[in-house]
Amino acid sequence: MGSLFRSEEMTLCQLFLQSEAAYACVSELGELGLVQFRDLNPDVNAFQRKFVNEVRRCDEMERKLRYLEKEIKKDGIPMLDTGENPEAPQPREMIDLEATFEKLENELREVNQNAEALKRNFLELTELKHILRKTQVFFDEAEHGGVVSQMADPSREEEQVTLLGEEGLRAGGQALKLGRDKAKFVQTKNKVASWSIVIVSGVANVVVSCLLCHQQEHAGLNPTESMTRALISDDNIARQSALGPVQLGFVAGVILRERIPAFERMLWRACRGNVFLRQAEIETPLEDPSTGDQVYKSVFIIFFQGDQLKTRVKKICEGFRATLYPCPEAPADRREMAMGVMTRIEDLNTVLGQTQDHRHRVLVAAAKNIKNWFVKVRKIKAIYHTLNLFNLDVTQKCLIAECWVPVLDIETIQLALRRGTERSGSSVPPILNRMETFEDPPTYNRTNKFTKGFQALIDAYGVASYREMNPTPYTIITFPFLFAIMFGDTGHGLIMFLFGGWMVLKEKPLAAKKSDNEIWNIFFGGRYIIFLMGLFSMYTGLIYNDIFSKSLNIFGSNWLINYNRSTIQHNKDLQLNPSSEDYIDYPYPFGMDPVWQLAENKIIFQNSYKMKISIIFGVIHMLFGVLVGLWNHMYFKKRLNITCEFVPQVIFLLALFFYMVLLMFIKWIKYGPKNELIDGPGCAPSVLITFINMVLFKPATKVGECEPYMYGGQSGLQKFLVVVALLCVPWMLLAKPISLMRNRRKQHYQLNNHGAENGDVEASMGTLQQSGGVTQNGGHKEEEENMMEIFIHQGIHTIEYVLGSVSHTASYLRLWALSLAHAQLSEVLWNMVMRNGLAREGWDGGIVLYAIFAFWAVLTVGILVLMEGLSAFLHTLRLHWVEFQSKFYSGLGYSFQPFSFEIILDAAQATTED
Amino acid sequence: MKICGPKYALCGLILSVWGIFQLLLMGVFFYVRSVALVEDLPLGEGNFTTLENFYDVVDRGYTQNAYNCWIAACIYVLTFLFSGHQFYLNSRSSLSV
């Protein structure tokens, strides 16, 4: 197996497949997932390729399956996911599959259509039922006034189309006879007389308006006048009835409830107030058959008079999408009709139930296989898609493919190909042929579940160039460690550790769940990172002696209090002097002494310590990055880069920044409280000031009796180091371009002098290229570049490195800054929240503490672990991407994307779930 | 009787386990007069006339806080049982679907 230090060695291969065996072979390769095919006809568009028909058929099958899936989901039937991975079926099985899906789809569509028609009928009938019920109330009210029986509409018959329509009859299998209302004419005089009574009593103002409109239309009289006449004179009425029958009609229907106000206003305006509208709400929501939504509707009934108004009213109803239903005006007919409707609804219900059952059976049967089918269809599609990338041989007998394969896996690929040939029954074995190429191969890092997360962090910055040193193995340790420096708290680390550990332990069941929650997937993908980050944070937390901002006194403090009682009683602040008996002069065995938790100057003490370790780790980290670069140069055989880049880079870093690190150690070791005055803490020179003076060539000034230097000859050594570091700058800047220029001139000189041998040189170069492969080729390209460009490139590189090492060193101070922020934040949280629960007298404290603790715990997880953890994570990521990787990593490669069913199926599943 | 959903029950479980452990330990630390926790004691105004008075108050504070921690831990035990019961109910009802 390959190692994680570099990407796999890849090679370009040509693959000759016999036409008959191609399908089976590609299917085997897809199961293997180790081959990346190249498109050999990039200028042919998707519709002109060879297997476009097959791909189209697969698309069609997929569409049908999606339709089925949608229906299954709609009914909430669980889909069986056995997790099994069926092999790609033979091409001839495709027809069977197609036929199955076709049959299923048609069946389902038919059932759905029938169900919809039935539902529409059901809706109509329910609406009619409501109309009959509600209008009964209207009529009853009116009858109370003794009017209604006279209302009639001779022209209603035209509306008496069979309510259920033909569809309904077919689907329901039973016809319903609707009562047709018989027109009644109002003729008799005594009945008209009874009208006037109604008008006088004022019970039904319907009649008033009807009467009015009637009179307006027919008599053309002033309405008030006519009213008085109608009220007063019997003669008039007699004359009226003589003019013809009073045609007072009504239509009844159902309309969406929210449309009622607009409908009412429209009616009023369009008919100039000559119609009368009554409406009642249907309490139960009705199901809209086309959308399946629950809608609220209202029953209305409109009274009017005359044909013109009738057409107008009908048009308005149509415009408002109200459905009109015939409603017989005789109570007996209505009752009969209501009975009919009820029985019809019952029948429909049974039919609907049977339709639903049938649909359910079909879907349950489909749900058992649907996942399996999806996998099969997607595999077939992927295979044909891949076959489309291939070139057709002139004889049409074989397909030619080009692919990138890892050199180590050629054997397994050969085996897979042989299996494929056997399966297809072909006799001619496929030929796998290695090719030489000048192209950069893809980068393929073989990862396992542990290294995958870390590799993803690196790849997010940029995929490594081919065969470049891969920073992942080092990141596995440095990433959690640098994170932990910023996140140092045993308590918070423990929470993170437990969370990560739980995910690692429950890995398999959790992975099987395949949640589509993006945040959860990020956490789960990085479970090993979280686990290690938690572990390392617990360690640094012990070093800082912080557990939820409290210290643990494990080994006993090494500081003593030697003050007597009265001193303590009468002084507000007291110091423990390390130069006296207060300190027993050997350090606390592990990490920080717990006494610092109670000290006023804890932060000042810790800042100095944490800043120094930040810089120390930073310089070591960067130096390590530069050293990793050496392996790159050695591997790519760039000797020039070693002498002209690597060596001056290391010297520069060592002479300036590593020297500063040494100064820190010298300061720690040399100066102590129990030493002489000049070696005492008061005389310790500041490392930062010393360093600044060193770079500026400024002599250090003597303060009092203290020596400004830490050791003899420091001034001279420092001057020497700065000069060496400065000399490295032109070395990095100029040495490489100049030597390149000289080499080139030498080559030209040779070529010119030995013109006769020119052919030989070229021939030898040709062989060199063939044997040397990619690296040689890179070298040649570089020489062909313009000299100017090389200078500029080198200039940028040098400036970046020199300025970078200053700013990057400073950048590592974020380790200190975040660590300080984290410690302070957790202390503030304890003091502001937890202390409220603790510092409480009396026995209710326990209950208060119970509540406060919950609050504190939530804040701890939310702010300190999640938010602070995220911020520390991002800073760590930056330190790796910018400060560490800029020293050796170019990240210009492209990743290896093998043709693999596993990846294709996962991607397809992810898109459908979105 | 089901009161809270599966997430709420799980949250209660985790919180109560954490609470039981931490409060028990804190109670022990208060009981053994841990210096690190001296700032969390109920010391009133802090005007002490004599040393003995101070020791008395601090001593009482430590004991008081230790008991308070243990009481809170006990309530968390109850919470644990309650959320565990809820969690059990939830997991059973989700299985039966």
Q: Render B26-73 in DSSP notation, one character per residue.
A: HHHHHHTT-GGGGGGS--TT---SSHHHHHHHHHHHHHHHHHHHHHHH
Q: Return the residue in A496, A849, A859 with the most chain B beta carbons within 10 A, the one to mutate for interface testing.
A: A849
CA A430 to chain centre: 42
User: CA A174, CA A821: separation in Å to the nearest integer?
Assistant: 80
Q: How far is B12 from chain A (nearest CA, A)?
A: 10
Q: Helices A868-878 and A472-486 sit at what angle, rounded to 10 degrees?
A: 140
Which residue bears the tokens 């029948």? A347
A237 found inside a domain: no
Check residue A719 and give its pLDDT.
Answer: 94
Please count the residues of chain B. Answer: 97
Q: How far is B48 from chain A (nearest CA, A)?
A: 10
Check residue A784 and give its pLDDT.
Answer: 56
The answer to whether A839 contacts B34, with C-beta atoms less than 8 Å apart, is no
- Closest Cα to residue A753, out of A763, A745, A741, A765? A745
For A361, the 3-state DSSP assignment is helix
Q: Helices A901-913 and A19-32 sit at what angle, rounded to 10 degrees?
A: 70
A809 found inside a domain: yes
Structure tokens at A273: 């107030």
A690 found inside a domain: yes
- Closest Cα to residue A602, out of A555, A569, A559, A662? A559
For the ranges A108-117, A695-704, A876-885, the maximum mean pLDDT occurs at A876-885
Residues from chain A contacting residue B34 (CB–CB below 8 Å):
553
pLDDT tens sequence across A498-536: 999 999 999 999 988 877 788 999 999 999 999 999 999
B1 found inside a domain: no
The answer to whether A550 contacts B68, with C-beta atoms less than 8 Å apart, is no
Q: Is pLDDT at A192 greater than 60 in this prediction? A: no
A850 found inside a domain: yes
Q: Which residues pair with A18 in a beta bridge?
A: A398
Helix (H) or strand (E) holding A641: helix A639-641
> For residue B79, what is the nearest residue in chain A, using CA coordinates?
A850
> Which stretches of A193-296 are assigned E, i.e. beta strand?
248-256, 276-281, 286-287, 294-295
Q: Is pLDDT at A185 greater than 50 in this prediction? A: no
The pLDDT-based confidence of B94 (bands split at 50, 70, 90) is low
Residues from chain A contacting residue B65 (CB–CB below 8 Å):
838, 845
Please give the tally of structural domains in chain B: 1
Check residue A442 and give its pLDDT.
Answer: 93
Q: Return the residue in B13, B25, B39, B47 with the most chain A beta carbons within 10 A, the one to mutate for interface testing.
A: B39
Residues 6+ apart with CB under 8 A from A17: A25, A26, A390, A398, A399, A400, A401, A430
Which residue bears the tokens 């030619």? A400
A333 found inside a domain: no
Which residue bears the tokens 């192209």? A439
Check residue A785 and give its pLDDT.
Answer: 59
Check residue B54 and give its pLDDT.
Answer: 86
Check residue B70 and give its pLDDT.
Answer: 93
The answer to whether B15 contacts A857, with C-beta atoms less than 8 Å apart, is yes
- For residue A592, the number of C-alpha atoms closer than 13 Å in the C-beta half-sphere is 28
Q: Is pLDDT at A328 greater than 50 in this prediction? A: yes
Check residue A87 and give its pLDDT.
Answer: 82
Average pLDDT of the segment spanning A213-219: 43
Phi-psi region of A548 (alpha: psi -120 to 50; beta: other; left: phi over 0): left
User: CA A32, CA A372: separation in Å to the nearest integer?
Assistant: 19
Angle in degrees, CA A742, A744, A747, rounded to 5: 110
Check residue A733 and give its pLDDT.
Answer: 93
User: CA A418, CA A315: separation in Å to the nearest integer?
Assistant: 76
The pLDDT-based confidence of A617 (bands split at 50, 70, 90) is very high
Q: Is pLDDT at A682 greater than 50 in this prediction? A: yes
Phi-psi region of A713 (alpha: psi -120 to 50; beta: other; left: phi over 0): left
The pLDDT-based confidence of A772 (bands split at 50, 70, 90) is very low
User: CA A620, CA A653: separation in Å to the nearest integer?
Assistant: 10
User: CA A98, CA A58: separation in Å to the nearest integer?
Assistant: 9
Residues from chain A contacting residue B72 (CB–CB below 8 Å):
837, 846-847, 849-850, 853
Residues 6+ apart with CB under 8 A from A202: none
Phi, psi for A66 (deg, rounded to 5)? -65, -40
The pLDDT-based confidence of A258 (bands split at 50, 70, 90) is confident
Phi-psi region of A549 (alpha: psi -120 to 50; beta: other; left: phi over 0): left
The pLDDT-based confidence of A767 (bands split at 50, 70, 90) is very low
Are the C-beta atoms of A22 and A399 separated by less than 8 Å?
A: yes
Q: Is pLDDT at A151 greater than 90 in this prediction? A: no
Structure tokens at B7: 């997430």
User: CA A468, CA A442: separation in Å to the nearest integer?
Assistant: 11
The residue type at A252: A
Helix (H) or strand (E) holding A719: helix A714-753
Q: Which of A71-85, A347-361, A680-694 has the lowest mean pLDDT?
A: A71-85
Q: Is pLDDT at A838 greater than 90 in this prediction? A: no
Which residue bears the tokens 């769940």? A513
User: CA A7, CA A4: separation in Å to the nearest integer?
Assistant: 7
Q: Choose the closest CB to B42 out of A550, A831, A839.
A: A839
B10 found inside a domain: yes
Check residue A246 and give its pLDDT.
Answer: 56
B66 found inside a domain: yes
- Closest Cα to residue A454, out of A477, A476, A481? A476
The pLDDT-based confidence of A77 (bands split at 50, 70, 90) is confident
Angle in degrees, CA A215, A217, A223, rounded to 5: 40
> For residue B78, what is the nearest residue in chain A, using CA coordinates?
A850
Helix (H) or strand (E) holding A398: strand A398-406
Q: Is pLDDT at A403 greater than 60 in this prediction? A: yes
pLDDT tens sequence across A23-74: 899 999 999 999 999 988 888 888 888 888 889 999 999 999 999 888 888 8
Largest CA-CA distance found in chain A, in angstroms, rounded: 140
Check residue B48 and give its pLDDT.
Answer: 76
Check residue A210 and give its pLDDT.
Answer: 42
B34 found inside a domain: yes
The answer to whether B72 contacts A846, with C-beta atoms less than 8 Å apart, is yes
Phi, psi for A447 (deg, rounded to 5)? -120, 160
Average pLDDT of the segment spanning A735-756: 80
Q: Is pLDDT at A471 greater than 90 in this prediction? A: yes
Are the C-beta atoms of A340 and A178 separated by less than 8 Å?
A: yes
Neighbours of B69 (CB within 10 A): 27
The residue type at A772: G
pLDDT tens sequence across A849-871: 999 999 999 999 999 999 999 99
B20 found inside a domain: yes
Residues 6+ apart with CB under 8 A from A46: A52, A388
- The DSSP call for residue A679 is T
Q: Return the residue in B28, B52, B64, B77 with the most chain A beta carbons within 10 A, the one to mutate for interface testing.
A: B64
A385 found inside a domain: no
Neighbours of A13 (CB within 10 A): 19
Q: Which residue has the higher pLDDT, A386 or A146?
A: A386
Are the C-beta atoms of B72 and A850 separated by less than 8 Å?
A: yes
Angle in degrees, CA A600, A603, A608, rounded to 5: 130
Average pLDDT score, chain A: 82
Average pLDDT of the segment spanning A544-553: 92
The residue type at A220: G
DSSP state string for A531-566: HHHHHHHHHHHHHHT-BTTB---SS--SB-----HH
What are A's interface residues with B at a Cβ cutoff of 8 A?
550-553, 565, 569, 594, 597-598, 831, 834-835, 837-841, 843, 845-847, 849-850, 853-854, 857-858
pLDDT tens sequence across A696-714: 998 888 888 888 888 889 9
Please give the tally of structural domains in chain A: 1
Which residue bears the tokens 């938690």? A534
- Closest Cα to residue A320, out of A276, A258, A412? A258
Rg (CA), chain A: 46
Q: Is pLDDT at A243 greater than 50 in this prediction? A: no
Structure tokens at A577: 């002097």
The residue type at A615: I
B86 found inside a domain: yes
Largest CA-CA distance found in chain B, in angstroms, rounded: 70
Residues 6+ apart with CB under 8 A from A481: A536
A362 found inside a domain: no
The answer to whether A834 contacts B40, with C-beta atoms less than 8 Å apart, is yes
Residue-range definition of the domain harbouring residue B41: 6-95
Q: Is pLDDT at A291 greater than 90 in this prediction? A: no
User: CA A18, CA A417: separation in Å to the nearest integer?
Assistant: 11
Q: Is pLDDT at A432 greater than 80 in this prediction? A: yes
A860 found inside a domain: yes
Q: Is pLDDT at A648 greater than 90 in this prediction? A: yes
Q: Which residue has the higher pLDDT, A565 or A819?
A: A819
Are the C-beta atoms of A487 and A826 separated by less than 8 Å?
A: no
The pLDDT-based confidence of B73 (bands split at 50, 70, 90) is very high
Are the C-beta atoms of A3 and A466 separated by less than 8 Å?
A: no
- The DSSP call for residue A48 is G
User: CA A14, CA A83: separation in Å to the nearest integer?
Assistant: 34
The answer to whether A849 contacts B42, with C-beta atoms less than 8 Å apart, is no
DSSP state string for A837-849: HHS--STTHHHHH
pLDDT tens sequence across B1-47: 778 888 899 999 999 999 999 999 999 999 999 888 888 888 877 67
Q: Which of A103-117, A151-165, A744-758, B50-64 has the lowest mean pLDDT?
A: A151-165
